[in-house]
């Protein structure tokens, strides 16, 4: 046997401290492509570790912080180590392909060995597969780094009919990086958001019907739904084996082609892929791919689609007008298949997986409804009720499935063949369902942005089975010719200003953290609770202020990232210390002494900018407090900071979502991040609801206190015009503007109103205010409704009907009335805005940058990218008015006075004619009428919608200066029902990872928010191992004495010791022959058994059992003496 020397390399992972590494290269992750990353790595300008670390750091900066996209559910803890091994491969000359070293995020319904596959469900939080899905295995084989997993709509949008896209009970709500208020769309919303925002080079989505292509269109990226059978579904938590597929979601067509190249192909575990073709998808990407092609187009007026049609024509394609293919699909295949296919998936998981069936998941959700069932589980229970083991049910399902799929295929095939088409170009959203039922491909490509709101718009290329190469080529040619995609930071700078470029005017976050937490929840603390603790000396104003700062630090641009607070008063802690000193000296100014308050950012606070959310007013700093702020300070309140709002109190433009401003970004509703926070005082509502201050101040012109209060589950009071001064408040309308309390309880609103109400010489409207501010707190009694007459209106709203029953139980007589109404044909707000804003700006110091509405319009026009995502149509309309013109002014005054009088008469008549003390309505009713009348409305929490747990409010309405009575009625109702719940209870997916909540849950699946803070390198440490084959015997084997005349089989044994460094080795023996005693030989041959006789790899001191057997017959003659034989044992190899 020939021995050869052999060197063995041992790979080790060395963790180095981050500060010791060289600076990573600067990367534009929002635009980086696969080819650019690969080129940098090939040139030695970038390593996979550096790229992976850059993405981990970006995820930390924007996923649960800043914009708070919540796109990524978890980061693979081995990502950096995997990247280091791929760097080592590259260094030794091995490059697996274009994805070598490229980080990929996969949707959290694809199995990654060792990481939970949850589909966003709390029931599957600890469901950990022991092997990769085929898609993940193929990505790894192609050299990709599995960076982590993305959030999704729960069970890929097959959980409930009321849940918004991107929501899951485990992961929370995914946000659209182009517009935080807009729908992220489809179940692969997290993959779309992550790709668009540059959180990975590539992402993977899955689709049953639209869940790749829809979020791709909505989030301005490329998305490809492959033909069913091109990409394996093995190891993907399913909905439907008929329609499910996985596919690329990327920033460019070339990236989609590279990713598809890696994941496509046959898989024995998914028989549908048996016919998958082997295609080079990258090879067909040519800029002239559309030349000479026939492309079907449909009738559609969408401007971006029309431009796309013109673009493909300019690229040499002939466009053919066709009717969009269609086919009926009356049978619900998905509900029938979901239980069967999900149970099959769960059956392949290890025994440690917590749920074995859909029934298990439903039972878990039911037992943990607070966490699991914000939106219910109707689709799960519907599927559980389907029994495909019933022959008749199965036959109906199979027939419907096959006929609907055949009809869909025929419709598309006929459209293509009858018109001799190479593909069909449609607006995104067209042919989505029919293509999904057919199992045919569709690729969505960015086609521009809606000019009214800058939301992404896509177009789609559609084809027949396995036409991906052709569709990718067409999409590539269109993409390269138009180059329409822009990154989110360019389209939506308000959300990204502090995460990209040069940060400025950034909302407060972790930098204000104080580390102070209290032993009671701020989320439900009331003014009375806090005042009691302050009086008892168990709490100081300084501690309380620090605690609110800490909660703002953890929730405003961290974690839930509700973005309610625009700035913190840098002197807040000084003010708190002063309040503590006064209390210690025996001075307590009233119920607000030492209580932190946040005010809307259209109220002047001396030394702090009053911006109304406008970038034009970013540096507009008043030199004196508004009277509301001055009165709060005089009452002992601590001015904690200022709140975000709808820009110019929702008087900038039409089509802008509530809570958005060009300076502050988008406020989120803490009860449901997908729904509107409502009204312009959205930040005040969010901050009060989430416990970011004890009390807040909002303003209203028509609905902007009461509407966000109802939508965000708090108490909101719009006072009578003239009860609260408007001086020093950036205005809309002197006729309708007011400030008012937004709080968690009625008593808190009463305490706050008592502080801010009163006359002001600078505001003539307050001349009508009571000479002495009423004691609003004194009127709060649980029996305040007893003996009262309360008007009620017709409504089917369940919470309102329950409120009627509640007030009746409290002793009130309810009187059914027709809701008061009055027409208001004349728009008085538009002419007043220019006049009143210019007057406000004139009272500012000379240093204020804007002197007039025209200055603001001009600034916005000059900085349109930053200022005008939604335009400024309302500003320009107001600028076009001229109340100095006698005719215009006369028409305005007449309309103002007549409309106000009509509104007041309508309400007054309803009250007096029916002898009512107040009118109780669903929130949203009488809002506009009351605002025009200048009359008060108090909104109180009335419960939560059954299907969504979103807050519902009711409103108490009255005549002029009836606040004390309305507060008393609201208090009696509130105390009897106690319906308000904190956001952490009704929406735990958003709040579970915030410490100090009023409602605690067991699940702790927190979104990743930590930077890498590590360097990883794969290195070699070597040692030479000589080729070795060593065999030794432990001793001779001896049979027991042979007994003549007796038939028997005798056994002897010994063992051998094997040392081998070979790739394989075999142990053999020479011919055993016959035992002999001199000239005498046994009749039957010796038998030898070696266990084991072969080794598949290196072994050290491996034992081999050697067993000898010797049969002897009863008639066999035996000679006295010893029978023996010498054997030779050989250890050999062919791979030393």
Q: Which DSSP string corresponds to 941-977? A: EEEE-TTT--EEEEEEE-STT-HHHHHHHHHHHHHHH
Q: What are phi and psi of 809, to 5 degrees?
A: -65, -25
Residues near 1035 by beta carbon (within 8 Å), at least 6 away in sequence: 1054
Block residue for tokens 């002495």: 772
> Cβ(909)–Cβ(916) under 8 Å?
no
460: helix, coil or strand? strand
Q: Tally the C-alpha atoms within 13 A of residue 1050's C-alpha that lie toward its C-beta.
A: 20
DSSP state of 212: T
Residue 70 zone, left/alpha/beta (φ > 0; ψ -120 to 50; rest): left
For 120, list phi and psi in degrees, rounded to 5. 80, 10
Which long-range contacts link 44-47 to residues 24+ away (Cβ below 8 Å)?
47/83, 47/87, 47/101
What distance lies between CA 862 and its chain's CA centroid?
34
With H, G, I as helix, E, B as strand and everything else as coil, classify residue 122.
helix
β-strands 789-792, 813-816 pairing: parallel
| CA atoms of 726 and 605, how far apart (whole Å) | 13
Taking the C-alpha atoms of residue 295 and residue 104, their distance in angstroms, rounded to an integer, is: 33
- The closest alpha carbon to 1075, from 1044, 1032, 1042, belongs to 1042
CB burial of 1028-1041 (b: ≥16 within 10 Å; e: otherwise) equals ebebeeeeebebee
Cα 71 from Cα 81, distance rounded (Å): 23
Look at residue 428 and give its three-state secondary structure. coil
Clarify whether 546 is annotated catalytic. Answer: no
Q: Specify the DSSP element, H or E, that contains 735.
A: none
Beta-carbon contacts of 65 under 8 Å, excluding residues fewer than 6 positions away, are: 509, 510, 557, 558, 559, 561, 1009
* Peptide linkage before 356 cis (omega within 30 of 0): no
CB 749 within 8 A of CB 980: no
**Annotation marks residue 678 as catalytic:** no
Q: Collect all residues with Cβ–Cβ distance below 8 Å to 194 and sequence separation of at least 6.
A: 69, 71, 72, 105, 150, 200, 203
Query: Which listed residue (187, 240, 681, 962) is catalytic?
Result: 187
* CA dist., res. 1104 & res. 1055, Å (int): 5
| Candidate list 107, 149, 642, 981, residue with the active-site label | 107
Cα dihedral sign for 219, 223, 229, 235? negative
Cα–Cα distance between 1108 and 1086 in angstroms, integer?
Answer: 7
Euclidean distance between CA atoms 566 and 662, whole angstroms: 12
Under 8 Å between Cβ of 936 and 966:
yes
> Which is the catalytic residue, given 48, 188, 191, 211?
211
Known catalytic residue at 356: no
CA distance 452 to 434: 30
Q: In this structure, are residues 165 and 188 in contact, taking their beta carbons and an 8 Å threshold?
A: no
Q: Which residues, 6 or more positions from 790, have their beta carbon under 8 angstroms from its beta carbon?
A: 807, 812, 813, 814, 815, 916, 917, 918, 919, 920, 969
Residues designated as active site? 107, 187, 211
């Amino acid at each position: 046997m020939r021995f050869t020397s052999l060197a063995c390399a041992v790979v080790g992972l060395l963790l180095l401290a981050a500060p010791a590494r060289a600076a990573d290269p600067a990367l534009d992750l929002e635009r980086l492509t696969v080819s650019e990353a690969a080129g940098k790595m090939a040139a030695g300008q970038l390593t996979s570790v550096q790229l992976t670390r850059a993405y981990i750091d970006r995820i930390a900066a924007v996923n649960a912080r800043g914009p708070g996209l919540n796109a990524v559910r978890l980061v693979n803890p081995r990502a950096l180590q995997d990247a280091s091994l791929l760097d080592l491969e590259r260094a030794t000359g091995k490059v697996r392909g274009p994805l070598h070293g490229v980080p990929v995020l996969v949707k959290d319904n694809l199995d990654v060995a060792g990481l939970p596959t949850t589909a966003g469900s709390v029931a599957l939080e600890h469901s950990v597969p022991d092997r990769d899905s085929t898609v993940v295995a193929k990505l790894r084989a192609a050299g990709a780094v599995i960076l982590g997993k993305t959030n999704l709509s729960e069970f890929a949008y097959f959980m409930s009919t009321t849940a918004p896209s991107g929501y899951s009970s485990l992961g929370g709500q995914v946000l659209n990086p182009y517009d935080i208020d807009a729908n992220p769309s489809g179940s692969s919303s997290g993959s779309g958001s992550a790709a668009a925002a540059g959180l990975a080079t590539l992402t993977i989505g899955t689709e049953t019907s639209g869940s790749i292509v829809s979020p791709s269109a909505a989030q301005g990226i490329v998305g490809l739904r492959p033909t069913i059978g091109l990409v394996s579904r093995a190891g993907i938590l399913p909905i439907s084996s008929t329609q499910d597929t996985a596919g690329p979601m990327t920033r460019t067509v070339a990236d989609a082609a590279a990713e598809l190249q890696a994941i496509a192909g046959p898989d024995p575990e998914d028989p549908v892929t048996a016919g998958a073709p082997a295609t080079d998808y990258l090879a067909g990407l040519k800029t002239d791919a559309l030349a000479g092609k026939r492309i079907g187009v449909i009738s559609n007026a969408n401007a971006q689609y029309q431009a796309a049609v013109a673009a493909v024509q300019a690229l040499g394609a002939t466009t053919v007008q066709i009717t969009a293919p269609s086919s009926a699909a009356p049978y619900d295949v998905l509900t029938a298949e979901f239980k069967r296919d999900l149970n099959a998936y769960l059956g392949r998981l290890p025994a440690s997986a917590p749920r074995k069936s859909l029934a298990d998941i439903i039972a878990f959700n039911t037992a943990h409804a607070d966490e699991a069932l914000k939106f219910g589980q109707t689709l799960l229970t519907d599927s559980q009720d389907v029994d495909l083991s019933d022959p008749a049910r199965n036959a109906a399902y199979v027939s419907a499935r096959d006929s609907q799929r055949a009809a869909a295929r025929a419709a598309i095939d006929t459209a293509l063949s009858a018109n001799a088409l190479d593909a069909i170009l449609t607006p995104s959203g067209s042919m989505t369902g029919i293509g999904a039922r057919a199992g045919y491909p569709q690729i969505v490509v960015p086609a521009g942005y809606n000019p009214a709101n800058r939301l992404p718009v896509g177009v789609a290329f559609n084809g027949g089975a396995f036409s991906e190469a052709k569709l990718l080529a067409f999409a590539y040619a269109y993409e390269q010719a138009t180059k329409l995609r822009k990154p989110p930071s360019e389209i939506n700078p308000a959300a990204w200003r502090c995460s990209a470029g040069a940060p400025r005017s950034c909302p407060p976050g972790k930098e204000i953290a104080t580390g102070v937490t209290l032993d009671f929840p701020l989320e439900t603390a009331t003014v009375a609770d806090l005042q009691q603790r302050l009086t008892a000396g168990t709490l100081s104003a300084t501690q309380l202020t620090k605690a609110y700062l800490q909660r703002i630090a953890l929730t405003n641009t961290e974690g839930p990232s509700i973005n309610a607070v625009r700035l913190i008063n840098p002197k807040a802690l000084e003010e708190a210390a002063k309040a503590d000193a006064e209390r210690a000296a025996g001075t307590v100014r009233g119920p607000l002494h030492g209580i932190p308050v946040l005010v809307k950012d259209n109220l002047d606070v001396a030394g702090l900018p009053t911006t109304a959310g406008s970038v034009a007013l970013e540096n507009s700093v008043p030199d004196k407090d508004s009277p509301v702020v001055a009165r709060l300070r005089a009452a002992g309140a601590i001015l904690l900071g200022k709140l975000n709002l709808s820009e110019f109190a929702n008087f900038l433009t039409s089509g802008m979502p509530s809570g958005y401003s060009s300076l502050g970004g988008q406020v989120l509703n803490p009860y449901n991040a997908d729904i509107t926070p409502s009204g312009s005082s959205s930040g005040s509502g969010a901050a009060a609801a989430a416990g970011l201050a004890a009390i807040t101040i909002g303003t209203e012109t028509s609905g902007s206190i009461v509407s966000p209060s109802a939508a965000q589950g708090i108490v909101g009071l719009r006072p009578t015009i003239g009860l609260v001064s408007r001086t020093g408040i950036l205005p809309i309308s002197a006729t309708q503007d007011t400030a008012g309390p937004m709080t968690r309880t009625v008593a808190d609103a009463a305490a706050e109103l008592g502080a801010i109400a009163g006359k002001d010489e600078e505001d003539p409207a307050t001349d009508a205010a009571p000479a002495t501010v009423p004691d609003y707190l004194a009127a709060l009694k649980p029996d305040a409704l007893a003996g009262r007459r309360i008007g009620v209106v017709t409504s089917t709203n369940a919470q309102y009907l329950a409120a009627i029953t509640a007030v009746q139980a409290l002793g009130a007589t309810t009187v059914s009335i027709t809701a008061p109404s009055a027409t208001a044909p004349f728009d008085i707000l538009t002419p007043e805005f220019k006049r009143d804003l210019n007057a406000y700006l004139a009272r500012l110091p000379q240093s204020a940058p804007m002197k007039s509405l025209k200055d603001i319009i001009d600034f916005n026009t000059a900085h349109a990218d930053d200022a005008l995502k939604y335009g400024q149509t309302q500003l320009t309309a107001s600028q076009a008015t001229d109340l100095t013109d006698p005719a215009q002014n006369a028409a305005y005054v007449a309309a103002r006075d007549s409309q106000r009088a009509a509104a007041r008469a309508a309400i007054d008549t309803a009250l007096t004619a029916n002898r009512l003390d107040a009118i109780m309505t669903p929130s949203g009713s009488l809002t506009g009428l009351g605002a025009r009348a200048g009359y008060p409305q108090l909104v109180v929490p009335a419960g939560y919608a059954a299907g969504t747990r979103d807050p519902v409010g009711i409103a108490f309405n009255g005549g002029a200066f009836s606040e004390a009575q309305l507060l008393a009625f609201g208090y009696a109702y509130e105390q009897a029902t106690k319906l308000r719940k904190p956001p952490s209870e009704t929406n735990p997916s958003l709040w579970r990872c915030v410490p100090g909540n009023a409602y605690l849950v067991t699940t702790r699946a927190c979104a990743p928010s930590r930077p890498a803070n590590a360097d990883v390198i794969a290195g070699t440490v070597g040692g030479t191992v000589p080729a070795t084959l060593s065999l030794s015997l432990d001793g001779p084997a001896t049979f027991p004495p042979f007994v003549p005349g007796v038939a028997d089989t005798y056994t002897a044994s010994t063992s051998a010791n094997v040392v081998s460094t070979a790739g394989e080795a075999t142990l053999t023996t020479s011919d055993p022959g016959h035992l002999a005693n001199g000239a005498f030989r046994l009749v039957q041959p010796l038998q030898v058994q070696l266990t084991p006789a072969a080794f598949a790899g290196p072994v050290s001191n491996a034992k081999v059992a050697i067993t000898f057997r010797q049969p002897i017959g009863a008639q066999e003659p035996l000679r006295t003496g010893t029978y023996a034989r010498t054997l030779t044992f050989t250890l050999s190899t062919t791979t030393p």
